């Protein structure tokens, strides 16, 4: 079967990673999957023209009902959709977008939600199509390069110290956009760094929102203990995650965070903002800590400690 797969493919983002992972799985099952950036198409008519090309596509798939699924509305071949966090956490709040999403869901052959919570929210906000919505968590397979140099990574991020091996590096992995709220924890981590210079926060991810990216750069330059790293390829990012003390999440909303799943797969502790998407993935005080405010995180973090390199999870005293 030849499958057209539409998704938002900003480089080095969770959406891109998830799409590539799904594409790889489809092809490993013996099918042909052509992954295309939804932003290439101006309207459903553009997709109609594409699927009519020879050899014809036999089915289609899209991540995000509004961003990509709406482009499949006029095609004659069957298609399925995958809910993204933006669908339920953001787009359903806009009436015009919600109506389009309902139309997509009605026409789709099936829909996939990564968590039970995401399915419940979809059923609550959209026209009920319970029989179409299936829950399937993401499968994660991390890949760590052996050529990665931890010391060079820290130095290139602006971290200057002779005690690299003693540092407690907290890694905030996120694209620089509002929904990820990358500045949410800056103040509490800076305060913690001033109390103990070995505690540092490194923010790493692509600069998606130019205005916010400039704001983050400005804040980081004047904030002690907080650094901004240049985005890396997936292998190098996984290597950095494996070396850090903990992976941090500060998002306002998530569908299912690829960074959190990858950290858990790598055996790295996670400090995640207590939102539905994160609570569906992180088991509090087992695979990580869920925090409700920067202040609570500051109090809890001083008590957490890794319980051996093999387990690498957090617990509070």
Q: Tens digit of pLDDT for each residue in 177-195?
A: 999 999 999 999 999 999 9
What's the Cα-to-Cα distance from 5 to each of 2, 25, 84, 107, 140, rounded to whole Å? Answer: 10, 12, 14, 17, 19
> Could you tell me the two tokens for 87?
């669908």
Own/partner pairs for 127-136, CB < 8 Å, 24+ apart? 127/102, 129/105, 132/105, 132/108, 134/110, 136/112
Could you tell me if residue 316 is inside a domain? Answer: no
Considering the domain architecture, whether residues 188 and 50 belong to the same structural domain is answered as no
Q: Which residue has the higher pLDDT, 171 or 144?
A: 171
Query: Domain containing 47 — which CATH number?
Result: 3.40.50.2000
pLDDT digits (tens, 9 = 90+) for 52-86: 887 789 999 999 999 999 999 999 999 999 998 88
104 and 232, same domain (yes or no)? no
Q: Which contacts qualify for 161-166: CB closer than 8 Å, 24 or more apart?
A: 161/197, 161/198, 163/198, 166/198
Q: In which band, very low, low, confident or very high, does the pLDDT at 10 lie, cut at 50, 70 and 90?
A: confident
Task: Kindly state whether residues 182 and 237 are assigned to the same domain.
Answer: yes
What pLDDT, on the 0 to 100 scale, is given for residue 129? 65
Q: Is the pLDDT of residue 312 over 80?
A: no
Instruction: Tell me whether the omega of the peptide bond preceding residue 55 falls within 30 degrees of 0, making it cis.
Output: yes
Q: Are residues 93 and 119 in the same domain?
A: yes
pLDDT at 128: 66
Of residues 241 and 256, more confidence is placed in 241
Q: How many domains does the chain have?
A: 2
pLDDT at 277 over 80: yes
Residue 317 has pLDDT above 50, yes or no: no
- Looking at residues 236-256, what average pLDDT do you find? 91
Task: Please give the Cα distance from 76 to 81 (Å, whole number).
Answer: 15
Q: What is the mean pLDDT of residues 87-104?
A: 90
Residues 122 and 157 occupy one common structural domain: no
Inside any domain, residue 314: no
Q: How many CA atoms lie within 13 A of 261 on its CB side?
A: 21
Q: What's the pLDDT score for residue 172?
A: 96
Average pLDDT over residues 197-226: 94
Do residues 188 and 155 share a domain? yes
Q: Which pLDDT does position 140 carry in this prediction?
A: 64
Which of 91, 111, 135 is the C-terminal boundary of a domain? Answer: 135
Answer whether residue 40 shows pLDDT above 80: yes
Spatial neighbors of 291 by CB under 8 A, at least 6 apart, are 271, 272, 273, 274, 297, 300
Q: Residue 37 has which token pair?
A: 């950036």
- Average pLDDT on 135-152 reads 76
Residue 243 has pLDDT above 80, yes or no: yes
The rounded distance, in Å, linking the Cα atoms of 280 and 291 is 14
Tell me, yes or no, whether 186 and 273 share the same domain. Answer: yes
Q: Are residues 131 and 204 in the same domain?
A: no
User: Burial of 36 by CB count in 10 Å (0-12 exposed, 13-18 middle, 19+ buried)?
Assistant: middle
What per-residue confidence (pLDDT) applies to 67?
93
> Tell me, what's the pLDDT at 254?
87
When pLDDT is cut at 50, 70 and 90, the band that residue 306 belongs to is very low
Instruction: State how far the Cα of 226 lies from the Cα of 60, in Å rounded to an integer.
Output: 43
CA distance 190 to 226: 6
In a domain, 274, yes or no: yes
In this structure, the answer to whether residues 11 and 53 fall within a common structural domain is: yes
Q: Is the Cβ–Cβ distance between 87 and 8 less than 8 Å? A: no
Is pLDDT above 70 for 139?
A: no
Helix (H, G, I), strand (E, B) or coil at 182: coil
Q: How does DSSP classify residue 176?
A: S
Pair (120, 242) in one structural domain: no
The contacts of residue 27 (CB under 8 Å, 6+ apart) are: 33
Q: Evaluate whether 115 touches 137 at the Cβ level (below 8 Å).
A: yes
pLDDT for res 314:
36
Question: In the prediction, which pLDDT does 298 show?
Answer: 66
- In which band, very low, low, confident or very high, does the pLDDT at 117 lie, cut at 50, 70 and 90? confident
Q: Mean pLDDT for the chain?
A: 86
Average pLDDT over residues 36-41: 94
d(Cα 275, Cα 259) in Å, to the nearest integer?
Answer: 15
Say what percent of the chain tops pLDDT 90.
Answer: 53
Least confident of 7-16, 32-41, 124-133, 206-215: 124-133
The answer as to whether 158 is a domain residue is yes
Whether residues 295 and 201 fall in one domain: yes
Same domain, 168 and 120: no
Alpha-carbon distance 199 to 189, whole Å? 8
Residue 141 has pLDDT above 60, yes or no: yes
CA–CA separation, 171 vs 85, rounded Å? 22
Is 239 part of a structural domain of the chain?
yes
Distance of alpha carbon 1 from alpha carbon 32, whole angstroms: 6
- The answer for 158, left when phi > 0, alpha when psi is -120 to 50, beta otherwise, is left
> Does a structural domain hold residue 104?
yes
Tell me the CA distances in angstroms from 268 to 183, 230, 238, 287, 298, one per residue in order: 22, 21, 10, 8, 19
Domain extent at residue 35: 2-135
Residue 143 lies in a domain: no
**Residue 77 falls within a domain, yes or no?**
yes
Q: How far apart are the first and last CA of the chain?
A: 54
């Amino acid at each position: 079967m030849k499958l057209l797969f539409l998704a938002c493919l900003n480089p080095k983002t969770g959406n891109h990673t998830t799409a590539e992972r799904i594409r790889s799985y489809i092809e490993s099952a013996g099918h042909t999957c052509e992954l295309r950036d939804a932003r290439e198409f101006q309207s459903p008519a553009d997709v109609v023209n594409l699927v009519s090309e020879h050899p014809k596509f036999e089915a289609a798939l899209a991540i995000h009902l509004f961003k990509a699924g709406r482009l499949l509305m006029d095609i004659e071949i069957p298609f399925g959709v995958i809910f993204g966090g933006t669908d339920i956490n953001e787009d359903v709040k806009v009436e015009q977008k919600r109506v389009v999403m309902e139309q997509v869901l009605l026409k789709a052959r099936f829909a996939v939600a990564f968590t039970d919570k995401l399915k419940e929210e979809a059923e609550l906000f959209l026209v009920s199509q319970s029989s179409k919505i299936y829950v399937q968590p993401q499968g994660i397979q991390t890949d760590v390069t052996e050529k990665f140099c931890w010391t060079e990574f820290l130095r290139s991020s602006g971290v200057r110290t002779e005690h690299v091996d003693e540092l407690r590096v907290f890694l905030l992995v996120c694209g620089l956009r509002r929904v990820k709220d990358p500045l949410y924890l800056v103040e509490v981590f800076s305060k913690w760094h001033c109390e103990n210079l070995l505690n540092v926060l490194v923010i790493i991810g692509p600069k998606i929102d130019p205005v916010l990216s400039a704001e983050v750069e400005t804040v980081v330059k004047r904030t002690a203990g907080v650094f901004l790293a240049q985005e890396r390829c997936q292998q190098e990012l996984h290597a950095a995650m494996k070396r850090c003390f903990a992976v941090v999440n500060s998002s306002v909303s998530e569908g299912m965070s690829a960074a959190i799943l990858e950290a858990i797969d790598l055996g790295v502790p996670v400090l995640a903002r207590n939102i539905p998407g994160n609570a569906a993935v992180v088991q509090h005080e087992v695979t990580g800590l869920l925090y409700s405010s920067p202040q609570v995180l500051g109090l809890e973090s001083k008590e957490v400690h890794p319980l051996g390199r093999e387990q690498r999870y957090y617990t509070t005293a």
